[in-house]
Amino acid sequence: VELVANVDSLTDEINFLRAVYEEELAQMQQQVSNTSVVLSMDNNRDLDLDGIIAEVKAQYEEIANRSRAEAESWYQTKYEELQVTAGRHGDDLRNTKHEISELNRIVQRLRNEIDNVKRQCANLQAAIARPR
């Protein structure tokens, strides 16, 4: 139950972080598209605006890809940690069930021994009570 809650909590956190990431990405794209650029041009040079825009776009995409890779890496790490924790809790649960089973067998054996001793005691009391 705890593991399911932990998985749900981490899944919710991942979904939240993804939503934040997507929102930040959209805002950055909006800012970039709304940015006005004022250039003073030297007529002696040819200014390659398409090249500059392509370079800025490539840099931005590289940053976005790197951020995405970091988020996915973090998600994968957390997922693997949860897998290990779930395995450990599963082992603990199996061990506890085995211990309970052993204790139930011991309790049953002791109850049988108590019943036998009670019968022996009743037989001895009956033998003592009989007149000779």
pLDDT in tens, 95-127: 999 999 999 999 999 999 999 999 999 999 999
- Say if residue 60's pLDDT is above 60: yes
Per-residue pLDDT, 25: 92
Amino acid type, 52:
I
Domain ranges of the chain: 2-37+46-96
Kindly list the distances between the CA atom of residue 47 and the CA atoms of 59, 114, 132, in Å, as whole numbers in the listed order. 19, 101, 130
pLDDT digits (tens, 9 = 90+) for 8-55: 889 999 999 999 999 999 988 888 877 766 666 555 556 778 888 999
pTM above 0.85, yes or no: no
Specify the long-range contacts of residues 71-77, CB closer than 8 Å, at least 24 apart: 71/17, 71/18, 71/21, 75/14
Task: Tell me if 78 sits within 8 A of 14, measured CB to CB.
Answer: yes
Q: Are 40 and 47 in contact (CB under 8 A)?
A: no
